[in-house]
Amino acid sequence: EDQVTQSPEALRLQEGESSSLNCSYTVSGLRGLFWYRQDPGKGPEFLFTLYSAGEEKEKERLKATLTKKESFLHITAPKPEDSATYLCAVLLQGAQKLVFGQGTRLTINP
Partner 1 sequence: DGGITQSPKYLFRKEGQNVTLSCEQNLNHDAMYWYRQDPGQGLRLIYYSQIVNDFQKGDIAEGYSVSREKKESFPLTVTSAQKNPTAFYLCASSIVGRPEAFFGQGTRLTVV
Binding site for partner 1 (CB under 8 A): 4, 9, 31-32, 34, 36, 41-46, 49, 87, 89, 91, 96-103
* 3-state secondary structure (DSSP) of residue 73: strand
Which residue's CB is nearer to partner 1, number 17 or number 45? 45
User: C-beta of 67: minimal distance to partner 1 in Å?
Assistant: 20
Which residue's CB is nearer to partner 1, number 36 or number 75? 36
Which residue's CB is nearer to partner 1, number 10 or number 77? 10
User: C-beta of 36: minimal distance to partner 1 in Å?
Assistant: 8
Strands 56-59 and 104-109, by their bridges, are: unpaired
User: C-beta of 59: minimal distance to partner 1 in Å?
Assistant: 14
Q: What is the DSSP letter of 9?
A: S
The region that residue 94 occupies, defined by phi over 0 for left and psi between -120 and 50 for alpha, beta otherwise, is: left
Of 61, 81, 68, 80, whose CA–CA distance to 20 is shortest? 61
